[in-house]
């Protein structure tokens, strides 16, 4: 009990520039918290980049299979399905490049969240309509049936992208606030 009291008192009595144990390990203000958030954002970005790279390459190398996969979901018409099948692989590879090179990370994470929401919604829709189709995630070489497991994977990737985006927004806010107040340099 006395340790917690001492820790609370040290937090209150510390000068603004002095690092206390509570500040050093704080998720909100400590260096460790910032490093963990930055490390998580980097790891999540690399996981997403690998997913986008693998999926984009599979779709670009076999575009007709990907087009048929898009049509099997029975959501898009012929014209919009063709546009999606032509544009998605290029977008996936662009997202992978942005996340690996750490350029336009915020935009890449935001587009990743949007795409994964669409993918998860399409899979949920197909499952609800009891369509017996393949997932279409990684092309013909790894054609697996659309099931709850594939929806779970899409949902986990969505969580990964969303949490990385939140970490990125927090880092941007700290950078902006820090440049105005001088606290975060």
Report the alpha-carbon distance of residue 137 to residue 128 in Å, rounded.
Answer: 18
What burial letters (b/e) apply to 61-72, b meaning 16+ CB within 10 Å?
ebeebbbbbbbb
pLDDT in tens, the chain (185 residues): 455 445 444 444 445 555 544 444 444 556 777 778 788 888 999 999 999 999 999 999 988 999 999 999 999 999 999 999 999 999 999 999 999 999 899 999 999 999 999 999 999 999 999 998 988 887 776 778 889 999 999 999 999 999 999 988 888 776 666 555 544 43
pTM of the model: 0.75
Q: Which residues of 120-134 are buried (b: 16+ CB within 10 A; e: fewer)?
A: bebbeebeeeeeebb
């Amino acid at each position: 009990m006395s340790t917690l009291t001492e820790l609370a008192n040290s937090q209150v009595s510390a000068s603004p520039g002095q690092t206390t144990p509570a500040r050093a390990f704080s998720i909100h203000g400590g260096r460790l918290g910032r490093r963990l958030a930055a490390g998580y954002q980097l790891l999540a970005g690399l996981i997403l980049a690998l997913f986008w790279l693998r999926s984009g390459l599979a779709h670009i190398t076999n575009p007709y299979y990907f087009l048929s996969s898009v049509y099997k979901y029975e959501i898009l018409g012929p014209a919009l399905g063709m546009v999606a099948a032509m544009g998605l692989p290029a977008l996936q590879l662009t997202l992978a490049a942005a996340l690996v090179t750490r350029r336009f990370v915020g935009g890449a994470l935001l587009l990743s969240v949007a795409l994964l929401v669409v993918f998860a919604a399409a899979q949920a829709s197909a499952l609800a309509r009891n369509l017996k189709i393949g997932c279409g995630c990684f092309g013909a070489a790894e054609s697996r049936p659309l099931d709850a497991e594939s929806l779970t994977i899409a949902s986990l990737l969505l969580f990964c992208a969303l949490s990385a985006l939140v970490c990125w927004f927090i880092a941007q806010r700290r950078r902006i606030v820090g440049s105005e107040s001088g606290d975060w340099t």
